[in-house]
Chains A and B, each alone.
Chain A
Amino acid sequence: MPAIRSHFHEELDALELDILAMGELAERSVGRAVEALARNDRDEVEAVVAGDDEIDARYLSVEQRIVELLALQTPVASDLRLITSMLHVNLHLERIGDMAVNIAKTTRSILDLPSSGAILAHIQEMSDVVRPMIRTAMEAFRTRDLDLCLRLPAMDDPVDRLNLGMYKEVAALAGDPDALNWGLRMILIARQLERVGDHAVDIGEQIGFLLTGEFREFTDASHPVHLTPDAG
């Protein structure tokens, strides 16, 4: 029996490392997708789309191994919390990978259209905020740091504001149909990045649950918290 439990904990450790690796891949994929957009780089677009296969394969492997652990080991207490948290985090990371693919595919459809430097800077800023959010969430998981989790909602606020601000930026392109066409796709991309930020917060909530045993939504969509402007 002790040998079986030892294998169980080795498998938990291996799953945790796989999820940390997933976080790294998902974060890098978002960064590459936005760089492909900023540089109008067709090859990079295709690399991001192709790279999602590895994320999907890892996602399926992790999920299958978690189901096996649940079926065979009937984990309890903190082990059960860790397993259910990993199940959720795994799904959030896979979705982030999909969003990077959505950004890449949207970019693929507008490579020949005229672009706007101001809007690209806006999109790049969103990427520069959400990628550290993913890293912060994964660091919180790796180091079991509740304080890091609790920083995520505040990090997400500017992302929400930047997403809302995108409509105003795109409206300024209304005079040029091609530019407007491009701009409307940028709204879709901004929305994907905003969702990436939300997934990072959701991962933080799962780590919060893992560490405290109490699930608490950091941001509640059904009871919206009014965003107060940051002092700066």
Chain B
Amino acid sequence: MEKLLAVAVVLAILALGFAVTQLRASERARRSSETLGRRVENLTNRLADLDEERRAMETVLSSMEEGVLLVSPVGGIRLINAAAERHLGTRPATLSGLTPLGLQAIIRGAAADGQTHSLELETGAPSRWLRASAIPVGDGSVLLVVRDVTEARRTESIRRDFVANASHELKTPAASIRAAAETLRTSARDDPAAVPRFAEQLEREAIRLSRIVSDLLDLSRLEGGSDLDEEVALDALLREEAERFQRAAAESGIRLSIRSEAVGRVRGSPRDLSLLIRNLVDNAIRYTRPGGAVEVSVGSENGLMVLSVEDTGIGIPSRDLPRIFERFYRVDRARSRETGGTGLGLSIVKHVVENHGGTVHVRSELGRGTTFVVRLPVLRSE
């Protein structure tokens, strides 16, 4: 009996020990599980953070106007955003597949010397200008940043050329007047026969200067808008000016034909619309050689009033076409004094058309002639 009791006690002690061991193991397992759970949670949170960061980065990159492209040291494209794809027109997989070729050159240059390389290049049809910078980023990779600078270049050239052109147009007649006045002072005494010639020069340049001032005042007024408070019949306006145009054309030996059909009325300013017609027709006569022809017509098309001025004149080179509506812009500065314009006429035309909610388009071919087409909204009858 005692033996049995002793065995039972031993067994109980063993069982207790086992239970304690199990309890401890279970506690350790619980703690491990908790630690693992926390780690999994941390990891999940970290992954979520990373995912959020990646999405934020993608949002930033995809909403950028600048194209961004990351090239690995071995020439793979590691990252390219939507703007880069848009600017380049492709989504290259490797550096060797990147066009325009100039971009490859600056990336290779930046990778070789660790310096930023930049360039501007013209590409595509219709033509666009891209400005690109290849920036080394440390691990042998190169970041390429590409911007479309077509509009910025245009604005910059307008700003730069305006100052030079305006000062040229204003200084030239002023210098001529001064020279003629000085010569007159001495000629009156030494060579009285020359006086009428210099007096004529004086008068001509004074008229020219006065026309520039008058056009500048018109432009300044038009920048504030036109008074659109009258109903204007453009065909009637054209007929009013016809006689003056015919006289000017005949003096230049140019055949002028005017066709006007009765069209609807335009809401606008008769004074400004007259300026529009006068500038376009005067321009056509001025840039057409004797023996050439100018055809002016007013009609309607798709509910719009269409004024067309077509000449068989010298034409406009394609590189100048996008710029002819700029103030003081001259296609051929050397010829501008012969033709006698102020360099402001087409700028006035553009302002009048825009003030009246219309459009103006030009087609031209060098040596064959030019056509300006103005479209204006016709007033709806009540």
Contact = CB atoms under 8 A, between A and B. Distances in A.
Interface of A: 13-14, 17, 20-21, 24-25, 117, 121-122, 124-125, 128-129, 132, 135-136, 138-139, 142-143, 148, 158, 161-162, 165, 229-232
A232 B99 contact: no
A20 B99 contact: yes
Given A142-B89, A161-B365, A161-B367, A125 B310 contact: no
A21 B362 contact: no
Q: Name A's interface SS.
A: helix
B125 A148 contact: yes
Contact of A24 (B92, B100, B367): B100
Interface residues of B, number: 29
A25 B89 CA distance: 18
A230 B96 CA distance: 42
Given A24-B100, A24-B101, A231-B310, A165 B318 contact: no
Q: What are the 6 A-B residue pairs with the smallest beta carbon separation, nearest first?
A: A232-B363, A232-B371, A136-B125, A135-B125, A139-B125, A125-B366
B97 A17 contact: yes
15 contacts: A17-B96, A20-B99, A24-B100, A121-B366, A125-B317, A129-B318, A135-B125, A135-B127, A136-B125, A138-B125, A143-B89, A162-B367, A165-B367, A232-B363, A232-B365
B368 A24 contact: no
A128 B365 contact: no
B368 A161 contact: yes
B239 to A, nearest CB: 24
Given A128-B317, A142-B89, A231-B371, A14 B97 contact: yes
Nearest to B93: A13
Most chain B C-beta atoms within 10 Å of own C-beta, residue among A14, A117, A231: A231
B99 A21 contact: yes
A232 B369 contact: yes
A24 B99 contact: yes
A158 B365 contact: yes
Contact of B362 (A13, A125, A129, A232): A232
B317 A139 contact: no
Contacts of A132: 125-127
Q: Name B's interface SS.
A: loop
Interface in B110-169: 123-127
A81 B365 CA distance: 37
Nearest to A126: B366
Contacts of B319: 124-125, 128
B364 A232 contact: yes
B195 to A, nearest CB: 35
B90 A142 contact: yes
Contacts of B101: 21, 24-25
A207 B368 CA distance: 31
Nearest to A166: B367
A225 B126 CA distance: 27
A136 B123 CA distance: 10
Most chain A C-beta atoms within 10 Å of own C-beta, residue among B90, B332, B334, B366: B366
A211 B319 CA distance: 32
A55 to B, nearest CB: 12
A90 to B, nearest CB: 16
B371 A162 contact: no
A24 B105 CA distance: 14
Contacts of B363: 230-232
Given A122-B366, A122-B367, 14 more contacts: A17-B92, A17-B96, A17-B97, A20-B99, A24-B99, A25-B101, A124-B317, A124-B319, A128-B318, A132-B125, A138-B125, A158-B368, A232-B364, A232-B370
Contacts of B371: 231-232
Interface in B311-327: 317-319
Contacts of A143: 89
A139 B122 CA distance: 13
Nearest to A20: B99
Contacts of A138: 125
A88 to B, nearest CB: 20
A125 B96 CA distance: 34
Contacts of B366: 121-122, 125, 158, 162
Contacts of A142: 89-90
Given A124-B317, A136-B125, A142-B89, A230 B365 contact: yes
A29 B257 CA distance: 45
Contacts of B89: 139, 142-143
Contacts of B368: 158, 161, 229-230
Contacts of B318: 125, 128-129
B317 A121 contact: yes
Contacts of A117: 334
A161 to B, nearest CB: 7
A21 B89 CA distance: 13
Nearest to B367: A165
A14 B89 CA distance: 16
